């Protein structure tokens, strides 16, 4: 049977019953007993502080306006399409310039197409922008089955770009999306004009695991790398659960909105040394809660965790070399990022910013937009 390749117009319209259910669940949250001495709302050393989480949950229940955010998102063109029996959701924003270059934006976890909400309007003067959600994320649900990992997703994204009419395009990505971006270039170099990666010091956690430790590091550099690994290890609980036990954590994320909120909001805590900012001081609170709400309404807490399991057990390399021009923008820059991930300075465009972090499209959208534009102009 031939697969239906149609691009089907899509509009976000969460049923009112789902909104009422969310508020009711938030109102009846069973909170843990407070532990004496742990009342600091900015101390994330043991995870997200319950006192801070309760403040955020109260705002989500009583003040956050999903319908207003839904209307903003619906200002863009949305579509769904089926590839290999899996439903994919995409956002397609055409430039006023019909000759503009197509630009695919790839996100990771715990992001979504909402992550690029502020970035898209900064790019459409020069680019036709496409944002695709990987299987298990947002409206690219429910999952059609097992086996959706980087390689299969990359081929599906290439097919969708063809359906949209873009034989040639550029790609940007962060987190998991950087793996998809790099794989697109490696497997389809005749189609990908250039790749742009948004990175931060957390990428150093991949050195020694997904990327080799380069020769010639000094004793001080090795000590710095070990310090980063030590800090990263303290933050890997979510990764081990999603890599190996997605079904177990998925039940809690699907049944408890506060559980889903805690699981995601903690990752928006700034990781700069000594920084005491809470998540909504790093990113817009309503945008953060729109992202969390999307996970809640689509049950993506479980489905997106399956992507981690599939990737961990696929045996695939996260990064694939290609001859396609590449640019990196490193936010909250650490000198070891280039020293370890590009020791030969093979990446032609390399930018470092003291601002931002793991979610540059939400934290510093203008810096990111300008860097993408500068890089793609340099290779045109």
pLDDT for the residue numbered 2: 62
Residue 264 to residues 138, 178, 290, 373, Cα–Cα distance (Å): 14, 20, 12, 30
Residue 291: helix, strand or coil by DSSP?
Answer: helix
Buried b (16+ CB within 10 A) or exposed e, 317-328: eeebebebbbbb
Give every CB contact of residue 205 below 8 A, 6+ residues apart in sequence: 228, 229, 232
Buried b (16+ CB within 10 A) or exposed e, 243-257: beebeebbeebbebb
d(CA 220, CA 161): 45
pLDDT for the residue numbered 233: 76
pTM of the model: 0.95
pLDDT band for position 209 (cuts 50, 70, 90)? confident
pLDDT for the residue numbered 60: 98
pLDDT band for position 270 (cuts 50, 70, 90)? low
pLDDT for the residue numbered 273: 38
Counting residues of the chain whose pLDDT is more than 90, the rounded percentage is 78
Phi then psi dihedrals of residue 194, to 5 deg:
-170, 155
pLDDT at position 274 over 60: no
d(CA 13, CA 9): 13
pLDDT for the residue numbered 111: 96
Give every CB contact of residue 216 below 8 A, 6+ residues apart in sequence: 343
pLDDT for the residue numbered 288: 97
pLDDT for the residue numbered 237: 84
pLDDT digits (tens, 9 = 90+) for 138-168: 999 999 999 999 999 999 999 999 999 999 9
Give every CB contact of residue 97 below 8 A, 6+ residues apart in sequence: 125, 126
Look at the block and give the residue holding tokens 């250039």: 194
d(CA 212, CA 204): 11
Q: Are 310 and 137 in contact (CB under 8 A)?
A: no
Query: Mean pLDDT throughout 305-310?
Result: 96
pLDDT for the residue numbered 34: 87
Look at the block and give the residue holding tokens 């699907």: 254
pLDDT digits (tens, 9 = 90+) for 15-66: 999 999 999 999 999 999 989 888 888 888 899 999 999 999 999 999 999 9
| Residues in a beta bridge with 8 | 80
d(CA 232, CA 204): 9
Residue 156: helix, strand or coil by DSSP?
Answer: helix
Burial class (CB in 10 A: 0-12, 13-18, 19+), 338: middle
* Beta-strand relationship, 77-83 and 8-10: antiparallel
Q: Show the domains of the chain with their CATH numbers.
A: 8-379 (3.40.50.1820)
Counting residues of the chain whose pLDDT is more than 70, the rounded percentage is 98
pLDDT digits (tens, 9 = 90+) for 248-263: 999 999 999 999 999 9
Specify the range with the lowest mean pLDDT, choosing from 97-101, 201-205, 292-296, 358-362: 201-205
């Amino acid at each position: 049977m031939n697969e239906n390749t149609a691009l089907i117009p899509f509009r976000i319209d969460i049923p009112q019953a789902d909104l009422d259910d969310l508020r009711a669940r938030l109102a009846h949250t069973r909170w843990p007993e407070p532990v004496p001495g742990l009342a600091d709302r900015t101390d994330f050393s043991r995870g997200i502080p319950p006192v801070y989480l309760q403040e955020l949950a109260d705002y989500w229940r009583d003040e956050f306006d999903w319908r207003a955010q839904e209307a903003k998102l619906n200002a863009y063109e949305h579509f769904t399409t089926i590839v290999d029996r899996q439903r994919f959701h995409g956002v397609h924003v055409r430039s006023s310039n019909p000759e503009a270059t197509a630009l695919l934006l790839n996100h990771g976890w715990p992001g979504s197409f909402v992550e690029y909400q502020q970035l898209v309007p900064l790019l459409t003067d020069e680019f036709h922008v496409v944002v695709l959600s990987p299987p298990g994320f947002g409206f690219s649900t429910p999952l059609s089955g097992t086996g959706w990992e980087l390689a299969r997703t990359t081929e599906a994204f290439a097919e969708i770009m063809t359906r949209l009419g873009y034989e040639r395009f550029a790609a940007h990505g962060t987190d998991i999306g950087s793996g998809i971006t790099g794989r697109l270039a490696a497997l389809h170099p005749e189609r990908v004009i250039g790749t742009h990666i948004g990175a931060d010091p957390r990428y150093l956690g991949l050195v020694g695991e997904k990327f080799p430790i380069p020769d010639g590091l000094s004793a001080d550099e090795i000590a710095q790398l070990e310090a980063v690994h030590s800090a990263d290890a303290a933050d890997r609980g979510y990764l081990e659960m999603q890599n190996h036990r997605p079904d177990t954590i998925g039940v809690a994320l699907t049944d408890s909105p506060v559980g889903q909120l805690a699981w995601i909001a903690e990752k928006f805590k700034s990781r700069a040394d000594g920084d005491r900012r809470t998540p909504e001081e790093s990113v817009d609170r309503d945008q953060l809660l729109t992202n969390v709400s999307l996970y809640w309404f689509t049950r993506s807490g479980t489905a997106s965790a399956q992507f981690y399991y599939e990737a961990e057990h696929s045996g695939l390399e996260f990064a694939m070399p290609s001859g396609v021009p590449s640019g990196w923008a490193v936010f909250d820059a650490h000198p070891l990022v280039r020293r370890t991930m590009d020791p030969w300075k093979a990446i032609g465009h390399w930018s470092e910013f003291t601002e931002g972090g793991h979610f540059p499209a939400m934290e510093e959208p203008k810096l990111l937009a300008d860097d993408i534009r500068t890089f793609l102009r340099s290779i045109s």
